[in-house]
Amino acid sequence: MTEKVAVLLPAYNEELTIVKVIEDFKKALPHADIYVYDNNSSDRTNELAAVAGAIVRFEPRQGKGNVVRSMFREIDADYYIMADADDTYPAAEVEKLLEPLRAGLADMTIGDRLSNGTYEKENKRGFHGFGNNLVKGLINRLYRGDYNDIMTGYRGFNKLFVKTFPVLSPGFEIETELSIHALDKRFKLVEVPITYKDRPEGSESKLSTFSDGFKVLKMIFNLFKDYKPLVFFSLLTLLFFMVGLLVGIPVITEFANTGFIDKLPSAVLATGLMILAALSFVAGFILDTVVRQNRMQYELKVYDYYARSEK
């Protein structure tokens, strides 16, 4: 049985590079289907992609996450390769991403730009290296991961991962969401070092270092709350408890010495903080039970997918 490989290229105003990227993937994977999803480009991206032989589709909702959602829903294949259309990732190294998927060693493979040092040499955008390291450190610490490169856009997936992944983020947070979902649901991950080169002259990045960086941090925060509510609300409990203790100790000391409470506002505030601490702890336990049930349902969904795919 011949395997079916789909190359997924989200594109927004990439007329300078789209033809070369398509041709490079055609050389590397002659039998693959190459999909270009145009995300409201105002240049000739979709026209050039069609002439170059790609399957062109359109996503009217702006944002890379919206594009990936449509790709994962609409495209059927055995293996998927996702890359940016800006000619920064090497199509010639695509087999590095496919091999662990074919061997069953990975559900998602990650093109690691950072291990061989090419990203530091090629990337000319300020703060991107700092942002990558910050996000990597947060995710590895919060989710007990061992990622080298969180934000890479060069990834491979098997069909199981694609068809059971719920895309929530609308924009460039999608890479972060993919990484956290894979860790939380215990998918098999393999990182493979790849070479990286910066965009060619005249091609402009669509990333905004600070606004998109803030969105990524917000995504990490939200998914941490959603996936690990007991830890999240326990930290809130500790915060409320410590502040309540700080405010309440002078009140308790005063009452022990005089039998009276003159600092009534402090007493009310301390009591309120302690109540919030208790409520936060209880909420964490309840939500942890809900998340555990969700994980069980997700595992059953995966088993159901296996059963249907084997028929």
pLDDT in tens, 258-280: 888 888 889 999 999 999 999 99
0.85 exceeded by pTM: no
Distance CA 46, CA 12 (A): 9
Which residue in 112, 177, 184, 189 sits closest to 143, CA to CA?
Answer: 184
pLDDT band at 131 (very low <50, low <70, confident <90, very high): low
Is the pLDDT at 167 greater than 80, yes or no? yes
Is the pLDDT at 211 greater than 80, yes or no? no
Over residues 275-309, the pLDDT tens digits come to 999 999 999 999 999 999 988 888 888 888 877 77
Q: What's the longest Cα–Cα distance across the chain?
A: 88
**Average of per-residue pLDDT across 2-9:** 94
Strands, sheet with 108-112, edge to edge from the N-terminal-most edge strand: 55-58, 33-38, 5-11, 79-82, 155-158, 108-112, 189-193
* Average pLDDT of the chain to the nearest whole number: 88
109 burial class (0-12, 13-18, 19+ CB within 10 angstroms)?
buried
Of 94-98, 230-234, 302-306, minimum mean pLDDT range: 302-306
**Average of per-residue pLDDT across 130-137:** 74
pLDDT band at 172 (very low <50, low <70, confident <90, very high): confident
Reduced to 3 states (helix: H, G, I; strand: E, B; else coil), residue 112 is strand
| pLDDT number for residue 212 | 64
Is the pLDDT at 242 greater than 70, yes or no? yes
CATH fold group of domain 5-227:
Spore Coat Polysaccharide Biosynthesis Protein SpsA; Chain A (3.90.550)
Between residues 51 and 150, which one has the greater pLDDT?
51
What six digits make up the tokens of 156?
Answer: 């491979």
Between residues 5 and 304, which one has the greater pLDDT?
5
- Domain ranges, ordered by start, for the chain: 5-227, 229-309
Reduced to 3 states (helix: H, G, I; strand: E, B; else coil), residue 12 is coil
User: Residue type at 7?
Assistant: V
